[in-house]
Amino acid sequence: MKRYVFLFFSLVSLAGHAQQTINDYKYVLIPEKFNFSKENDQYGLNTVTKTMLEEKGFTTYFDNAALPTALAGNRCNALTAEVVQKKGLFVTNLTLLLKDCKGNIIFKSKEGKSREKDYEPAFNLALKDAFTSLDGVPYAYNGTINEVPTAAQTVAVAPAPTAAPAPAVIPAAAVTKDATGTLYAQANANGYQLIDTIPKIVLTLLKTSAQDYFIAEKASAHGIVLKRNGAWYFEYYKDNQLTSEKLLIKF
């Protein structure tokens, strides 16, 4: 009889897991470096992943950042984003995974592909292609509170505690730098290159699916260029500090 009771609760547990969706999660944690990368935020992939998940409606944090109390005390209320590379000949292949705190895959994208020869546009275009799978999945957080995993699973008989109100999400404080001169945009196949009056290429911009939003790279930093309140800004992380440089761009 005990064996049948155990089997019953095991099936209930498996059924509960099978029903998990991205709607059960408000937060997503993003690593500063993916397993296939050689450095933090290589090619701006981690920043792009964070931004595109926020555009989907998630509240996101880098996994080494200060977290709100509701999440710091229970990381099971967050998904973890992973981007996995499958090596191929002349093709860059990336897949987006969203996992729960037990390592279960809650969402897996299609294999995003790019045949670009240069590494940075190839990786960014493959990641963007992988994210198109998420575009077709409706998302609205349903208020689920996930329990911290324990060594031994027990059958809960008491009602779940009432969740405390989630703290307001405060944008990261940024070190702001003023524009140093006018940059001129030259169009290319994937976006623009910004040059100064020397002329020298200062920034490379890659188009995204969002208007007035570009993946950006310069010699010393990877990040994003976006338009805010009518002005252009280059934002990137350096030594775990968000930096926002104002840009004067003529397209």
Q: For 182-241, how does the pLDDT look when each residue is reduced to its tens digit (9 = 90+)?
A: 999 999 888 899 898 888 898 899 998 888 899 998 888 889 999 988 899 999 888 888
Residue 166 has a pLDDT of: 64
Residue 44 has a pLDDT of: 93
- Judge if 115 and 178 occupy the same domain: no
Higher pLDDT, 105 or 159: 105
Range of the domain at 199: 174-250
- Judge if 59 and 125 occupy the same domain: yes
- Judge if 124 and 183 occupy the same domain: no
- Judge if 127 and 186 occupy the same domain: no
The mean pLDDT of the chain is 84
Residue 5 in any domain: the answer is: no
Residue 159 in any domain: the answer is: no
How many domains does the chain contain in total?
A: 2
Residue 169 has a pLDDT of: 58
Residue 219 has a pLDDT of: 80
- Judge if 64 and 124 occupy the same domain: yes
Query: Of 135, 159, 185, which residue constitutes the final position of a domain?
Result: 135
Residue 147 in any domain: the answer is: no
* Poorest-pLDDT segment among 1-10, 48-57, 137-146: 1-10
Residue 30 in any domain: the answer is: yes
- Judge if 182 and 242 occupy the same domain: yes
Partners of 182 in beta bridges: 248
With pLDDT > 90 as the criterion, what percentage of the chain qualifies?
49
- pLDDT at residue 148 tops 90: no
- Judge if 131 and 180 occupy the same domain: no
Cα 188 from Cα 185, distance rounded (Å): 10
Q: How confident is the model at residue 70 (pLDDT cuts 50, 70, 90)?
A: confident
Residue 112 has a pLDDT of: 95
- Judge if 105 and 46 occupy the same domain: yes
- Judge if 27 and 92 occupy the same domain: yes
Q: How confident is the model at residue 79 (pLDDT cuts 50, 70, 90)?
A: very high
Residue 233 in any domain: the answer is: yes
- Amino acid identity for residue 171 in this structure: P
Nearest alpha carbon to residue 113 among 134, 81, 135, 85: 85
Higher pLDDT, 248 or 159: 248
- Judge if 129 and 181 occupy the same domain: no
Q: Looking at residues 45-49, what average pLDDT do you find?
A: 95
- pLDDT at residue 27 tops 60: yes
Query: Of 74, 104, 135, which residue constitutes the final position of a domain?
Result: 135
Residue 7 in any domain: the answer is: no
CB 62 within 8 A of CB 30: yes
Residue 8 has a pLDDT of: 45
Q: How confident is the model at residue 2 (pLDDT cuts 50, 70, 90)?
A: very low
Query: Of 135, 158, 183, which residue constitutes the final position of a domain?
Result: 135
Residue 149 in any domain: the answer is: no
Of 13-22, 167-176, 204-213, where does the model show the most confidence? 204-213
- Judge if 28 and 120 occupy the same domain: yes
Q: How confident is the model at residue 168 (pLDDT cuts 50, 70, 90)?
A: low
Which of left, alpha, beta for 103 (phi over 0: left; psi -120 to 50: alpha)?
Answer: left
Residue 2 in any domain: the answer is: no
Please enumerate, as own/partner, the contacts of 202-209 that have beta carbons within 8 Å and a separation of 24 or more.
203/234, 203/247, 204/120, 206/120, 206/121, 206/124, 206/125, 208/48, 208/128, 209/128
Domain CATH code at residue 49 = 3.40.50
Tally Cβ neighbours within 10 Å of residue 162.
7
